[in-house]
Structures are given as C-alpha cells and as structure tokens.
Structure 1
C-alpha cells in the first residue's frame, strides 16, 4: 500500500465495508435465527475491536508495516513468511464466509447454488481491482441503502422495541451462553480486527495519522449503532411469522427483504449483495498482499494470484458450516499460533528468531490437529479446545527453548 489518499470518512467507510459484509450482516441474521440477540456477538466484538484499533492507528500509519512485516523486522524472513502464510489461512476463512453469504443471497433470489457460486467468484475478481477511493464511495452508498432497507423491515415487523432493548437482551443471553465458546469467539474475532491486514491496509492508506484514527473511531461507532440491527430485524420477523418456510438460516436477511420489500425487494437484496461483496474485495486485496509477503515478486502475476485466492475461498465455502463458524474456525488456528508471540512482542520480551519460528509452527499444527478432531467428532472433544491447545503448544515450545538455552549456558 503506497498511495495515501483516504480521508477519515474514506477509512471509516472501507473499515465498515470490510466488516459489515456477509459475516456481520447475514452471519448475524443466521445466528439470530438460532440464538436470538446473542447472534450479534460477532458484530459487537468487531465494533469494540475498531475502537482498540484506533489507539494503534497512528503508530501503524507511521510504520506502514502490516503484521508480517513487523514480525519479520524483529525475527527475520523465516518468521515473516510463516506469519504471512498463517494470515492466508485465516483470511481464507473470511473470504469463504463472504462467498457463502453471497451464494445465500442469490439462492434466496431464485438462482441455483452452482450458478450463484460462479457469479460471486466473478464479481469478487472484478471488484478487487477497483481503485480504493472509488470503492469507498460505492460501498458507502450501498451501506446506507442496506441500513434503510433493514430499518424498513424492522418497522414493518413492529420490531423497533426489540432494537431499543437490544443491549439488555444481548447481555442477558450472552451470560447464559456456553462461556468457553463465547470467550473463544471473542478472542478469535477481536484479535483479528486489531491485527488483521484486511483492516490495517486501510489505516495505512489514510492521508494523515489523524485520518487513520478518526476513521477507526467512526467505524467503531457506526458498527456499535448498527450491530444489533440485523439480529433485531430477524427476531422481529420471526415473532411476526414472516420467516415461515425459510429453509436456510443464512438466507434470513435476503428472504426478509424479498418478503417485505414489495416491488423493491430485488433491488434491496442487490444492494445488500454489493455491500457484502465489499468484504470479499477487502479480503482478496489483503490476501494478495500476504502472498507477496510470502513470495516476494509475485505482484507481476497479481491477477492470477487473485484468481487462485478466490478459487480457494470458493472451495472452503462448501464446508457446510455456518457463516460465522467458518470464520472463527480458521481464525482460531492463526490466533493460537501468533497470539503468544504477539503478546511477548508488545511486552518488549525478546525471543530468539528460531524459537519464534518453532512457537508459530507448534501452535498452528496442534491447533489444526485438534480442530480436525473436534470437527470429526473424534474423542468427543469440545469445539472450543483448538485455541487453548494451540496456545499451550506455543508456550511449551517457548519453555523448552528457554530450558535448553539455560542448560547450554550452565554447561559452558
């Protein structure tokens, strides 16, 4: 990211477009069908994460370093490539979620799933080449139209009281939700909002440090205000009996738009789809940047890399998981590998470059293995286990390295 042209509003708009896509909008609606207002957890954690990102925005703007560059400067090229590779892992999950949600929108509109997949892939490939300033204007218009459509549906279902009482309902339901799974979701989503390159790219592209942090604050406040809107709209529609016949919870929001939008229903879901594609566009750009960090010089084949990235997202999108679950499951692997090393770096603790590499690999492998076991039902392991298992493996690698170093120093 070399050009710095974004105003505070532009930064905020692109940050929102990167978060207010499929996972925020359709994912929250899908979770609300199953868990009520607690389905807004992803949205609210994202909003708070934006406010934390605002604190780091000036320093991030000055260094121009995405997370793999910061690690690489401290621990060397091997760690830099490992973090870039791990970033591709979690970003693949986010991209897959955007594609999954886009398919849900088109299927709700009557398009076969296979055709919908092809349309979404082509749209992402085209939109990922749009200039950032133009993208900000385009997504801002779509986001405004999307919220107007949701507000209309909310009012049509007499759901305004549901939205006004969202905070008490959310807090009460989160308290009764499984605590371990809730904490893992908060960690997996919050850590990636603060350190994720899909968000950092827009902070770095701001014209001034002030534009960077103000943009983060604007995004956080906007997401805080609108975070409960998808869930409140779906809950009100359920109470009003407007989602009878819904077969796919991921299609709740577009289904509702078609039911309550009248002649403008198709236009409403088209706008929602375009706003949601903003997330896919942002993540595709960030993944292309990560691939450059992994294999310097591949920018000459940027178009082909984006095609490969979108193809991988399409493959993951067929895993059958819920939209938010797809994101969290791959986020966890990244956080388990990088989390402890990131904390040590922020605390100013020195770690040998080779030790840092071992910590990353240990955390990622153990977390991935446990994730495969939990998803396969092997041993009846809880779904939240991959994150603590991976962090524990990373900590054990650090301890073993320090112990070996101490023995060598004593022996000499």
Structure 2
C-alpha cells in the first residue's frame, strides 16, 4: 500500500481532526461537573489533553514514518499474542468512553424531567441499534453540532457577562489546583498525558499529515485550541454560580444541558429544544461509533469468525458492559481516566521496550515483553475492578494513580524477570510465529 496516497491533511485540517478526537460530551459535561466543586481546577483533564498534544511533537515523526498502529508495531516485533493483547486493552479502554456517552445522554434528558436509569437503558438500546445502521455517514452532522455547542457556550459566557472572567481564567487555573490532593493531581494529569501519546484516535490522523511541517503545526494548533476549549465549560459554570441562576440541587453532569435549556427559553420553547437536541444527537453518533470500533477490534484479531450473528453478539456484549459501568455511576472525568489508566499502565512498558530497541539501546526478548504485558494488564484490570466496586481501596485516594503504579510496576517487574529467565535459565523457548 502506498501510504502517501492517504497523506492529504494540511495543518488546519489535522488540528481540527485532533480536537474532534477528544472534544465531546465527556469533555464538556465532565469538565462542567468537576468545575461545580473544584472551580477552575475542573479544567485539569482538558488542559492535560492540550499538554499531551504538545508533548506528542516528540513522537510525531516516529508515528508518521512508522504508519502502523501500536498493536501492529509491537505484534510485528514481539509476536501475535502481544498484538492481540494490546488490541484487547484498547477495546477495554473504550468501555469507559461508551459508558460516559450513556451517562451524558441520560443527564441531558434529565433536564427534561426524564428519570436517569430508565434513560440509560433506553439510550443503550438506541446506541446498540444505531451501531448496526450506516449512520456513520452522518458523522459530519455530529461534529457540526458539537461545533455549534462551542458557539452556545460562548454565547452563555456573553449572556452571563463573564467575558472578563473567561479571559482571566489562565491566571486563575494554577492557583486553583492547590485544592486538589497531589495524588489526584498527578493521577489525572499523568494518565491523560500518557494516553494522548499512545492514543490510536490521534494516530489515525497524525499519519495522514501531508508533510512534517503540517504535522508539527497541526499538533501545535490543536494544543492551542484545546487550551481555548478547556476553560469554556468551567467559565460557564463559575459564571452561573456567581449569577445565582443554578438550582441548588442540580447534579454537576446536568449543568451544561440546564444552562443551554435556560438560554433557549426552556423546554417549551423551540430554542431550548434545539439546543438540547444539539447535545443528544452527537451522543448518539459517538456512542454508536464506539460500539462499531469495539466490534471491529474484536473481529480484526480473528478471535471469532466475522458473521452477522457474531457481530450482533459482540455488539450486545459491548453494550451490556458499557451499560453496567454507566449504571454503577460516578464522575464522568473519573470514569474516562480510570479506563485510560488501564490502557496506559498496560501498554506503556512494552511500548517503551520497543522504543529502546528502535533507538539501539537494548533489545528485549519477545517472551519478556509478553510477560510484562500479561502481568501489567492483569494487575491494572484487577485494580480497575476493585476500585469500581470499592473506591476506598485505591492507594493515596487516587484510583488512577493506583492503576498506573500497579500496572507499570508489575510491567517493569515482568520485563526484568523475563530477561533473567531468557538469559540465565536453561529453558527452551517456544518460538511464536510473527
């Protein structure tokens, strides 16, 4: 395949696509939810995305030249088992993102006085059905409506006379972080930054940049746009609190839908209905898209045959898992980062081993990398399940940091033990077909 045929993205198009990869309902509603209690510190997650996008410049040339996704690179070097395991961890990380779409949709409907849990069940069914229909052709509509939401948030800031507040936000952000515990601060920022550096949602666009100049400028512009967007939801929430317009019992997840409804004149006015639709329709598009990606990952690795009944079974299982996580509840940002942390904790050690090999530093045995991947994946997933069931089990009161420490720690241990076994113990290795 001639990859130059697909390298057509200029820097502006690349930046827009990179932003679209992370700017969604989880980004908007989740940031607003955090801002209700943390103020400007609620923007830590989106600002970490901006920081990660800047640091991506270090890896951008490598990705652009390699073209292939991480699971293919690692699989070609260390064997098919590694390729499948990395793909499975990518699939697992999407469960949390899908759950967030269900939660976001349910709380959008909540402002219309619809009950949350029945809404989650209904939305899960709608996502399931839409994932097997060809609505991905309308992806331009979903992205356009999210773009419309940006304008709506800017209008909300103007309506609340909060433009000076928003412009001063960059100076207020750093001091606001002091109210967060150091483990929570490190857990959220580290998980997000490390995820961005190995995020396959980013990778698919990075490799399509038409040249290195477009690649670097696109990443820088995307980071700047993220910084601009990161403070918008928090500014709307803080301005609304200052104006005293928020109901005292409002859930943080429902703040942005409530404000948009308020801007549109209420649920009985066309303006309010259109603004709510502009939120719920993108949720439909993103949710169904995630289910299709998860199904593709499972079928691409030929774990089961690609037949219509199997496709439907995979979609049903994925929907059920996402719904179970959504019904468990929790903060939107916390859910996103918990599942990100599992992927980061599992994949980064094998990927680092690959990078060390690429730079000529040291060549790790395939068996060592497989062992590291298996041990780190098992420990990270176990910690994820434990913290979902019993949040108090996390180290330092930070589930994200606990998952990263445990997963990466055991991954490094597995890599070291694997090298010792490979070099010093007389065990005949079983060669895996690459």
TM-score over 0.5 (shorter chain): yes
1:344 positional shift? 2.3
CA distance in 2, matches of 1:210, 1:127: 37
Aligned pairs (5 A) from 1:93-104 = 93-104=96-107
User: Alpha-carbon deviations, 1:221-273, whole Å to 9, x = none?
Assistant: 32221110011101110111111244321111101111232131221121123
Q: 1:40 to 1:313 in 2, by over 3 A?
A: same
| Partner of residue 408, structure 1 | 425
CA-CA distance at 1:276 after TM superposition: 4.3
Larger deviation: 233-242 or 370-379? 370-379
- Superposed CA RMSD in Å reads 3.1
For 2:273, the equivalent position in structure 1 comes to 266
Name the CA shift for 1:277/1:391 in 2 (closer, same or farther; >3 Å).
Answer: same
| Distance in 1 (alpha carbons) for counterparts of 2:343 and 2:377 | 7
**Equivalent residue, structure 2, for 1:287:** 294
SS in 2 for 1:318: helix
Instruction: Mark the runs of 5 or more structure 2 residues left unpaired by the alignment.
Output: 427-434
Q: Which moved more, 1:391-400 or 1:232-241?
A: 391-400
Q: CA deviation at 1:133?
A: 7.3
Note if contact 2:364-2:419 (Cα within 8 Å) is conserved in structure 1.
no
Give the C-alpha shift of residue 36 in structure 1: 0.8
Deviation at 1:140? 4.0
1:397 corresponds to which residue?
A: 414
Residue 65 in structure 1 maps to residue 68 in structure 2: yes
**Structure 1: stretches of 5+ with no match in the other structure:** none
**2:226 counterpart residue number:** 223
For residue 317 of structure 1, give the secondary structure of its aligned residue in structure 2: helix
Check whether the contact 2:120–2:323 (CA below 8 A) recurs between aligned residues: no
Alignment length (residue pairs): 409
Contact map agreement 2:369 2:418 (CA 8 A) in 1 = no
Q: Secondary structure at the match of 2:328?
A: coil
- Residue 72 of structure 1: CA displacement? 0.5
Q: Distance in 2 between matches of 1:380 and 1:209?
A: 42
2:334 alignment partner, one of 307, 313, 325: 325
Task: Show the counterpart of 2:29.
Answer: 26
19 and 279 in structure 1: CA distance in 2 versus 1, 3 angstrom threshold: farther
Alignment match of 1:247 (pick from 247, 250, 259): 250
Distance 1:133 1:5 in 2: 21
Contact between 1:88 and 1:290, CA under 8 Å: does it hold in 2? Answer: yes
Whether the 8 Å CA contact 2:27–2:46 is kept in 1: the answer is yes
Does the 8 A contact of 1:81 with 1:293 survive in 2? Answer: no
Deviations 1:364-384 (A, max 9, x none): 222333344445256674323
Q: 1:292, 1:298 → 2: CA distance?
A: 7
In the alignment, which residue of structure 1 is the partner of 2:48?
Answer: 45
**Aligned partners of 1:17 and 1:139 also within 8 Å:** no
Distance 1:201 1:298, change over 3 A: farther
Q: CA deviation at 1:407?
A: 3.1
Out of 359, 374, 379, the residue aligned to residue 361 of structure 1 is 374
